[in-house]
Amino acid sequence: MERIPILTMNEFLLVSIQVDMHDRLAMTLQEDLTNRIVRDRARGVLIDISSLEIVDSFMGRMISNIAAMSRVLDAETVVVGMRPAVAITLVELGLALPGVRTSLNVDRGMALLRSSLAGGGNGHGDADR
Q: Which is nearer to another protein, 74 or 89 (CB)?
A: 89
CA–centroid distance for 35 within its chain: 15
**Chosen residue from 8, 9, 41, 58 binding another protein by CB under 8 A:** 58
**Using CA atoms, how far apart are residues 114 and 53, in angstroms rounded to an integer?**
28
Residue count, binding to another protein (CB under 8 A): 21
CB 36 within 8 A of CB 9: no
Q: Should residue 107 be labelled a site residue for another protein when binding is judged by CB under 8 A? A: no
**Using CA atoms, how far apart are residues 117 and 76, in angstroms rounded to an integer?**
9
The kind and range of the H/E element at 34 are helix 23-39
Q: Should residue 2 be labelled a site residue for another protein when binding is judged by CB under 8 A? A: no
Q: Which is nearer to another protein, 41 or 61 (CB)?
A: 61
Residues forming the site for another protein (CB under 8 A): 20, 22-24, 53-58, 60-61, 83, 85-86, 88-89, 92-95
